[in-house]
Amino acid sequence: MDTSFFDPETTPFHKGELAVQQRLGVLENVHHYAPKFVRDFLPDQHREFYGKLPQLVVGSLDQKGRPWASMIVGQPGFISSPDRETLIIDNAPLSGDPLSENLEIGSPLGFLGIEFHSRRRNRLAGKMQGRTAGMGFSVKVDQSFGNCPQFIQARTPVYDEDRGQNKTSQKPSHVLGPHTEKRSKILGRMAKEIIGKADTFFIASAYFPDSSDRRFGVDVSHRGGKPGFLKVVGDETLLFPDFPGNNHFNTIGNIEIYPKAGLLVPDFETGDLLYITGQAEIIWDGPEVQAFANAQRLVQIRVEEVLLVEKSLPLSWTFESYSPFLDQIGTWEEVEEMLSASRDQNSWRRYVVAKIEKESESISSFYLMPEDKKALASYEPGQHLPVRVRMPDDLSKREGKKVRRTYTISNAFNGRYYRLSIKREEAGSVSKYFHDCVKPGDIIEAQGPRGDFYLDRESTRPVVLLSGGVGVTPMMAMAETLLEQEKKFPLGHKIHFIHGTRNGTVHAFKKYTNALSSWFDCFDVTNVYSQPESSDVLGEGFQAKGHIDLNFLRKYLPLDDYDFYLCGPKGFMQTLYEALRTLGVHEERIRYETFGPAMVLKTSTAEESGSLEMADQNDLPQEHVMVRFASTAQAVEWRPEKGSLLQLAEENGLFPDFSCRVGNCGACVTKLKSGAVSYPKGYSAAISGDEVLLCSAVPKKVSMNSDDDGEVVLDL
């Protein structure tokens, strides 16, 4: 671990927190402010703040080392701070609270002071010093710091002054008599009901290898979300999303090296308190993480013990409003819809064209929203969407024929719409149909997103997005995704957006990308025009004239360890690949996508001069091969420059089904009646011995006998 920018001995974070900060690329950023922000004393404003609170959340450990979260309640003033190193809680724990058995001299404790109506909160960690006359206790402060107001629901405490301390104006029955306690090893019906409607809970965690180090101890933290965000899975498991916070990762860092946690789930309406302790695990990635809007990871709790104390809270709260931050996050229902859509990605779903925006003279964006208003299937930035349209008779020459195409999704996933930015190609019947015929309100059918070219979101290296022409579309999705991450974790890692096109009239997303460059210091845009018009002003819309090549990269790209993403026409791709290899960039750092025939970019080992090659060059026929389409008895000649069998079929007026065009989905599978084929770039779809994937296959000459002319016959 690089510790050059902080002192490992004086940092306020222990190794678990540091490891998580490093994993997520925020370690250096956090240490610019945290050592001054996390104090070993209570500032005066914090001392005053605690004195105003009607409740205090406490984290503690039982004799088995299991964390528990608790709440002590009283009239404001029951918490005091006689000096900056001391906090006094002059009230006893509530009846049945595990905290009563966990309070011993020297015990590590975590505290959360939270004022629900103002959404202020402060965290404190310390050790118990002794008892007070009022059945309370005093604490020696180890660490203290403020917290952001995110995800706190506004509630106002209600008191009944006629009945004394801790009574409510409504005089609920739960303030009188003994409290019912129910212990269990599983989550029962009442526990599940409380959890199912909860919009707030508290989580305690710990790490304490050395009690003399103030960084070690118990922590307790607030978690808020839409009702039901704490999910019950069976009778013994809980799951909840972890949203962006202050990047300290106190809870997550504790769990990473001491995988236990305690939860307190209050029912603010009934006064019931649900205490849970169990094994904890961080789920860093997976479909549920990706599908839950704004979640950065999930936390799973396997229940060991449950304690339900009915009508325990001697204080009520009037609900005021949900946190405005809840608008940014998802729900488990949306996650399930999204995962269901993703699992069924090969079925066709109807989408409404919500709007159409002209991006340039030749490119327009089509916004597709699901007609059934259910969740979108998620995707990685850079992937494409298979669509199916019914072509008019005068274009398809086949009455009622539905034609498939794939178009890259040009926006970061937002759960609301797919944006397809399509270039009008004179030779492309479907692209012409989109531009000339499709209008808002029309229906487009689509399968689930797919594709092997996408952003590596786990990498923390700076990124270079290199595009030419309509190759800008996947780069837009990648750029938006990276900048969304930057808003959550302001790392300042450079994103170089380099785009080449002819001039301003055909330059898509010009205003948008230049605006992003002004909004984000980390986003560096360089647009290169090969043939600028008189209306194009250097420095206003485009930054360089010429072509993106080796000399350009040497001039405009600072030396660094980048991840490169390339997309554009074949010549553009080959030039850039050669240039990067010449600059010493390793192949694994260069990811690329092309429009048109699938290809593999390579440089010759002898001269390191680039050439466009297909992966198994020796396996390609050097002679022309005849291909016959059985449905029309049409025989055409295939040559290497014709590309795949799918391209050959399309060139000759046939419209076979396809989707991914890279041999992954199997949509283009066709019976091979005779002859042989090869797969220069390989494939991953499952096919039988008499089937062929048109999008990835080329004819293969297998015999020169007079009885076998090597013709390939397709059941197409």
Domain 463-613 coded CATH 1.10.600.10: no
pLDDT bracket for residue 610 (50, 70, 90)? very low
Q: Is the pLDDT of residue 672 over 80?
A: yes
Proportion of the chain above pLDDT 70, given as a percent: 88
Question: Can you tell me the distance from the alpha carbon of 295 to that of 499, in angstroms, rounded to the nearest whole number?
Answer: 32
Across 410-430, average pLDDT: 91
Q: Read off the pLDDT of residues 81-108 as tens digits, 9 standing for 90 and up.
A: 999 999 999 999 999 999 999 999 999 9
Q: Quote the mean pLDDT of the chain.
A: 86
For 660, the token pair is 């991914």
pLDDT bracket for residue 149 (50, 70, 90)? confident
Question: Can you tell me the distance from the alpha carbon of 151 to that of 229, in angstroms, rounded to the nearest whole number?
Answer: 12
586: burial class by Cβ within 10 Å (0-12, 13-18, 19+)? Answer: exposed
Q: Which pairing describes strands 260-266 and 273-283: parallel, antiparallel, or unpaired?
A: antiparallel
Separation in Å, CA 692 to CA 49, 626, 649, 666, 669 = 72, 16, 13, 9, 6
| Contact yes or no for 611/618 (Cβ under 8 A) | no
Q: Read off the pLDDT of residues 433-460 as tens digits, 9 standing for 90 and up.
A: 999 999 999 999 999 998 889 999 888 8
Question: Can you tell me the distance from the alpha carbon of 459 to that of 557, in angstroms, rounded to the nearest whole number?
Answer: 19
**What is the per-residue burial (b if ≥16 Cβ within 10 Å, else e) of 519-555?**
ebebbbbbbbbeebeeebeeeebbbbeeebeeebbee
pLDDT bracket for residue 634 (50, 70, 90)? confident
Per-residue model confidence (pLDDT) at position 340: 84
For 98, the token pair is 């595990």
Q: Is the pLDDT of residue 118 over 90?
A: yes
Per-residue model confidence (pLDDT) at position 320: 95
Question: Can you tell me the distance from the alpha carbon of 588 to that of 134, in angstroms, rounded to the nearest whole number?
Answer: 66
Q: Read off the pLDDT of residues 126-146 as tens digits, 9 standing for 90 and up.
A: 999 999 887 899 999 999 988
Separation in Å, CA 678 to CA 95, 695, 701 = 75, 12, 10
Proportion of the chain above pLDDT 90, given as a percent: 57
Question: Can you tell me the distance from the alpha carbon of 664 to that of 666, in angstroms, rounded to the nearest whole number?
Answer: 6
Residue 450 per-residue DSSP state: B
Topology of domain 620-714 in CATH is Ubiquitin-like (UB roll) (3.10.20)
- Residue 485: its H or E element: helix 472-488
What lies within 8 Å, CB to CB, of 625 at 6+ separation is 637, 638, 675, 699, 700, 701, 710, 711, 712
Q: Read off the pLDDT of residues 235-291 as tens digits, 9 standing for 90 and up.
A: 999 999 999 888 889 999 999 999 999 999 999 999 999 999 999 999 998 889 988
Question: Can you tell me the distance from the alpha carbon of 509 to that of 529, in angstroms, rounded to the nearest whole number?
Answer: 14
Domain 344-446 coded CATH 1.10.1740.10: no
Per-residue model confidence (pLDDT) at position 516: 94
Question: Can you tell me the distance from the alpha carbon of 314 to that of 117, in angstroms, rounded to the nearest whole number?
Answer: 18
Q: Is the pLDDT of residue 707 over 60?
A: no
3-class DSSP string for 2-61: CCCCCCCCCCCCCHHHHHHHHHCCCHHHHCCCHHHHCECCCCHHHHHHHHCCCEEEEEEE
Residue with structure tokens 């309370």?
Answer: 136
* Confidence (pTM): 0.71
Q: Is the pLDDT of residue 121 over 70?
A: yes
pLDDT bracket for residue 29 (50, 70, 90)? confident
| Contact yes or no for 129/139 (Cβ under 8 A) | yes
Residue 362 per-residue DSSP state: S
Q: Which has the minimum average pLDDT: 34-43, 293-302, 398-407, 546-555?
A: 398-407
pLDDT bracket for residue 708 (50, 70, 90)? low
Question: Can you tell me the distance from the alpha carbon of 525 to that of 510, in angstroms, rounded to the nearest whole number?
Answer: 10
Q: Is the pLDDT of residue 523 over 70?
A: yes
Domain 15-333 coded CATH 2.30.110.10: yes
Q: Is the pLDDT of residue 496 over 70?
A: yes
For 585, the token pair is 């960039």
Per-residue model confidence (pLDDT) at position 166: 40
Residue with structure tokens 């590309």?
Answer: 643
Per-residue model confidence (pLDDT) at position 620: 53
Q: Which has the minimum average pLDDT: 99-103, 187-191, 345-349, 604-608?
A: 604-608
Across 525-531, average pLDDT: 95
Q: Is the pLDDT of residue 40 over 50?
A: yes
Q: Which has the minimum average pLDDT: 71-75, 117-121, 668-672?
A: 668-672
For 411, the token pair is 């926006």
Per-residue model confidence (pLDDT) at position 668: 85
User: Of the candidates 583, 585, 548, which has an alpha carbon nearest to the alpha carbon of residue 568?
Assistant: 548
Per-residue model confidence (pLDDT) at position 667: 73
Across 663-675, average pLDDT: 83
Question: Can you tell me the distance from the alpha carbon of 93 to that of 101, in angstroms, rounded to the nearest whole number?
Answer: 10
3-class secondary structure, 153 = coil
Q: Read off the pLDDT of residues 152-175 as tens digits, 9 standing for 90 and up.
A: 999 999 865 433 334 333 333 334
Q: Where are the domains of the chain?
A: 15-333, 344-446, 463-613, 620-714
Q: Which pairing describes strands 137-147 and 86-89: parallel, antiparallel, or unpaired?
A: antiparallel
DSSP string, 675-710: SEEE-TT---S---TTEEETTT-EEE-----TT---
